[in-house]
Amino acid sequence: MRFISENVIGKDILMGAVVAIPIGLAAALFLFLLEWFTAIRLANFWLLWGLPLGGFLVGWLYHVYGQDAVAGNNLIIQETERPKKKIPLHMAPLVFFGTLVTHLFGGSAGREGTAVQMGAAIADAIGYKRGDAQFRQVILVCGVSAGFAAVFGTPFTGIIFAIEVAILGKRKYRAIVPGLVAALIADGICHATGVPHVDYALEYIPALTFKRLPILLFAGALFGIAAFLFSKGTSFSGKGFQWAISYPPLRPAVGGAVLAIVFFFMGTQKYMGLGIQEIVASFVVQQEWWVFLLKIAFTAFTIGAGFKGGEVTPLFFIGATLGSALSGFLPVELYLLAALGFVGVFAGATNTPIACTAMAMELFGVGIWPQAAIICFTAYLFSGQSSIYAAQQLPNPKWRIITNIWRR
């Protein structure tokens, strides 16, 4: 490992602490408004008819003012891997506004994309240093980890995710400590403002037994396949909209109209927005087997059309409901399968099994780690050579046999 001077480390840590403050405050404001807008939508089902207009507005803003910001998380991953140009600061307000519009009218999307993009844009605006590629990587890791940690309340997952998703297969020791500092401070600021996070802690986690091992491997494979379906579905939807509609603002407008009509005839808000209520319910009530498939379809369609938000919370929904449904067939506790699916599908879709194992420990309790690790790495292997982030550089080792199966 290359020697890094104490002076450099001190500057990196100081910069991580500095950028974490505005990121934490921005995340707190975002979560507050997101909760408020969601409550408004839940009380006014008719707002779904605003999806076409809201979609056109978001699409037009990105078409006119977006420029490089249109690439979203993929731009951040590219710049973290190979720093070349500054992340545009206007990415932050664009994704902030676009996500709130998506959730106000009922698009099926998440919030991780907003957190990551706001964090990276704010961090780069403060700490951008031309010509210093290593420092750029450090500052972007700080921004991503701070944004992720603040929104989900998982600081240790935040730093691991920032490194694992963007610098896959490479060791970047320099970013670890300042990234963790940024994550802890941003998360602390978010908590200090009183913005609540959902409490998923499990009261009892059964021990891993040899008899349970093949069952977990089977469940992990199914979670990986679900992640594969989601990644490919989102990619297919995006390419389909680009092929069918040449004018970008019309894509979310048309997509929004289709979603509004479908949701209206379904007569439910179950698949709209984050779906936190359904995620929580999955830990106590067995879900029907088709619920996760519908969430895959609606989220892939929403994101592919051009609405903003992210995919991670929908991945939680997909994994938790699939795990809950599997409890009717597999001899594993319902709440445990829901928790393992929660992180397993996320691991498969983002190729971040280490971060997702850490998230399971932070959200559900440290005792879940051996079972979470089995699930997350199995899902990662069975998700194939796919990712929700097109810019992610994916390894293709010979032992990842399932990759070749999906290619055929």
The three-state (H, E, C) secondary structure of the chain, written as one string: CCCCCHHHHHHHHHHHHHHHHHHHHHHHHHHHHHHHHHHHHHHCHHHHHHHHHHHHHHHHHHHHHHHHHHHCHHHHHHHHHCCCCCCCCCHHHHHHHHHHHHHHHCCCCCCHHHHHHHHHHHHHHHHCCCCCHHHHHHHHHHHHHHHHHHHHCCHHHHHHHHHHHHCCCCCCHHHHHHHHHHHHHHHHHHHHCCCCCCCCCCCCCCCCCCCCHHHHHHHHHHHHHHHHHHHHHHHHHHHHHHHHCCCCCHHHHHHHHHHHHHHHHHCCCCCCCCCHHHHHHCCCCCCCCCHHHHHHHHHHHHHHHCCCCCCHHHHHHHHHHHHHHHCCCCCCCHHHHHHHHHHHHHHHHHCCHHHHHHHHHHHHCHHHHHHHHHHHHHHHHHCCCCCCCCCCCCCCCCCCHHHHHHHC
Residue 199 maps to a domain = no
On whether both 256 and 161 belong to a single domain, the answer is: no
Number of domain units in the chain: 2
Residue 316 maps to a domain = yes
Q: Of 159, 192, 225, which one is at a domain's C-terminal end?
A: 192
Residue 202 maps to a domain = no
Residue 319 maps to a domain = yes
For the segment 52-75, what is each residue's pLDDT rounded down to a tens digit? 999 999 999 999 998 888 888 888
On whether both 45 and 120 belong to a single domain, the answer is: yes
Residue 111 maps to a domain = yes
Other CB atoms within 10 A of residue 7 CB = 8
For the segment 90-148, what is each residue's pLDDT rounded down to a tens digit? 999 999 999 999 999 999 999 988 999 999 999 999 988 766 778 888 999 999 999 99
Nearest to 55 by CA among 275, 254, 243: 254
For the segment 322-360, what is each residue's pLDDT rounded down to a tens digit? 999 999 999 999 999 999 999 999 999 999 999 999 999
For the segment 193-207, what is each residue's pLDDT rounded down to a tens digit? 998 889 998 989 998
On whether both 53 and 155 belong to a single domain, the answer is: yes
Looking at the predicted structure, is the pLDDT value of residue 169 above 60? no
On whether both 251 and 389 belong to a single domain, the answer is: yes
Looking at the predicted structure, is the pLDDT value of residue 401 above 90? no
Cβ 88 vs Cβ 72: under 8 Å: no
In the chain, the percentage of residues whose pLDDT exceeds 90 is 74
Residue 97 maps to a domain = yes
pLDDT value, residue 245: 96
Range of the domain at 112: 6-192
Residue 205 maps to a domain = no
pLDDT value, residue 391: 75
Task: Provide the token pair at 81.
Answer: 């891997």
On whether both 218 and 186 belong to a single domain, the answer is: no
pLDDT-based confidence at residue 83 (cuts at 50, 70, 90): confident
On whether both 156 and 223 belong to a single domain, the answer is: no
On whether both 255 and 298 belong to a single domain, the answer is: yes
State mean pLDDT over 30-45. Answer: 95
For the segment 249-303, what is each residue's pLDDT rounded down to a tens digit? 999 999 999 999 999 999 999 999 999 999 999 999 999 999 999 999 999 999 9
On whether both 162 and 218 belong to a single domain, the answer is: no
On whether both 319 and 280 belong to a single domain, the answer is: yes
Cβ 79 vs Cβ 265: under 8 Å: no
Q: Give the chain's mean pLDDT.
A: 90
On whether both 108 and 183 belong to a single domain, the answer is: yes
pLDDT value, residue 398: 42
On whether both 160 and 226 belong to a single domain, the answer is: no
Looking at the predicted structure, is the pLDDT value of residue 3 above 60? no
On whether both 169 and 223 belong to a single domain, the answer is: no
pLDDT-based confidence at residue 402 (cuts at 50, 70, 90): low
Q: Of 123, 157, 192, which one is at a domain's C-terminal end?
A: 192
CATH code of residue 85: 1.10.3080.10
Residue 121 maps to a domain = yes
